[in-house]
Amino acid sequence: MKTVFFIGQEKPLLNLKKYGCLEKFLKKDFLVLTTEEIASKYEFTNEVLIFKSSWTKKEWVTFQDYLYIKNFITTSRKTLNISLRTRLFGPYKLNSIKRMVFAFKYFYKFCKRLNFFLIYQKRNYRSTDLLMELRNKNILSFGDSDKIMSLLLNQNIEKAIAFTTLNDPILFDFIEVCKNLGINSIALPDCWDNISTSLAIPEDISKIYLWSMQQKSEIKTNYPQMLEKSEIYGSYRIKPDASEKLFSEKNTNDISILYLESNVFEDRNFVINKIAKCISETEYFDSLIQNVKFIIREYPGYRPSEPGFDCEVFPFKNFIIGECKFEIIVSKNEFLRDDLAGVNLVFSELTTAGLEAAFEKIPTIFIGSNQSPRFITTFRVFHFSFAQDLFNYFPIIKLDSKSDSQKLTKFLNKFIEGRFRNSLDTNENFNISKKLTFLAEAFDYDKWESESI
């Protein structure tokens, strides 16, 4: 069986390499199909088929805009509508005249570049058919199908594998070619949120291998036509042999906290000071806590910045509350597992890394706030459909809520008490005892290998 391994975007490739899993999926006899841009950055020992993509950023944004409006008319998925709001009126909250004027200009430009009559007329089209219609109307160019077809036509390929964020325009062209050549195509989501936040999944994918029952429920709700093609295989990011320890053997007076950032802008000063204040208000603060170390793990991809906020250079200096020293450092580690080693507690914005920390049996608290000047804040993203399930498993704290701050102090109080008594009775306070397999499962390599034979 000849197999092609498709790499249409850089992020899944980076993650596979970062987790040391690329070799597990990219066998030596596989062909690699990728773009000139990616091939120029990475070396492969496999035979590589390279093409120059015709997709521009502007075209992909245009196609996304049509998909957002199509969704609004036909299904009105809340997750996508939150993002649509920023496409219509810009990224900021409308809390000043200046920003309202900016939003009006943004809305005018958005409306000017879309054919709303066409969207309404074709509202029930499949996403792949809508793409073809946009190309027939010269709204979009004809993409990469012909280039990919010319590379795969005489290769006698039977199977195609694509790790993808499902936010990759080239994937539509690749799947079209696979369908026309009778190639069995398999898509594997790169991240936990990919099903929930995807605008469209190419309908002609043969199979989609999911992380968990949660992703399958997202498929059932948002892409019912894909349900029979969906199967749970798990995620390579989840280790089946995670540590069973919750507390350190050494009951020192130090606490090491890992703070995980997402790709949404947040006021770092507010977050760190708020968490430190809640720690200082715990019952055992003066008697048991002498040092608190905050390790900030910055989001590895793009994260927006804002004028007036110190985003590029971390602004914090160490500080003292009472008798306790608070040390702030920014992690330089490439791998998440290196940051997780030795920490006692994790605060996480909405990111896959937070889920990984919980699977390592480290007490994990998901947090956010509405402090950002942007419309999509670190707390608003908890309205995304996949994030709603977190409320059944974890403490979810809105840091600019007085009642949630009090709740956080209670959680921290129980955590500190349990840590210094070396008691596992506090597990349920952080839902460590609950099964998280609904959210993600460890990848079933045996099943994957047996299918490949």
Q: What is the pLDDT of residue 289?
A: 86
pLDDT tens for 430-452 read 555 458 999 999 999 999 988 76
Q: In b/e form, how buried is each residue of 374-401, taking b as 16+ CB within 10 angstroms?
A: bbbbbbbbbebbbbebbeebbbbbbbbe
Q: Which tens digit of pLDDT belongs to each residue from 85-98?
A: 999 999 999 999 99
247 pLDDT tier (thresholds 50, 70, 90): very low
pLDDT given at position 435: 80
pLDDT tops 60 at residue 249: no
Give the mean model confidence (pLDDT) for residues 192-214.
97
The whole-number pLDDT of residue 173 equals 98
121-163, pLDDT tens digit by residue? 999 999 999 999 999 999 999 999 999 999 999 899 999 999 9
pLDDT mean over 316-327: 87
The torsion angle over the Cα atoms of residues 190, 184, 157 and 188, rounded to 10 degrees, is 10
Would you place residue 307 in the very low, low, confident or very high pLDDT band (cuts 50, 70, 90)?
confident
Query: How much is the average pLDDT of 369-391?
Result: 96
Q: Residues of the chain with pLDDT > 70: what percent?
A: 92
Query: Which of 345, 327, 339, 335 is closest to 248 using CA atoms?
Result: 345
In the chain, the domains with their CATH numbers are 3-54+143-236+442-452 (3.40.50.2000), 57-134 (no CATH), 254-422 (3.40.50)
Identify the weakest region by mean pLDDT among 116-125, 220-229, 432-441.
432-441
The reported pLDDT for the residue numbered 418 is 79
Over residues 293-318, mean pLDDT: 79
Structure-token match 């948002």, residue found = 222
The answer on pLDDT for 318 being more than 80 is yes
Rounded to an integer, what distance in angstroms lies between the CA atom of residue 144 and that of residue 199?
20
Higher pLDDT, 196 or 420: 196
Mean pLDDT, all residues of the chain: 91
The per-residue pLDDT for range 410-428, each reduced to its tens digit, is: 999 988 887 766 554 444 5
Burial of 427 (0-12, 13-18, 19+ CB in 10 A): middle
pLDDT of residue 426: 47
- Whether the per-residue pLDDT at 361 is higher than 70: the answer is yes
What is the tens place of the pLDDT at every residue in 258-292?
A: 999 999 999 988 999 999 999 999 988 878 888 99
DSSP 56: -
Is there a contact between 232 and 216 (Cβ–Cβ < 8 Å)?
yes
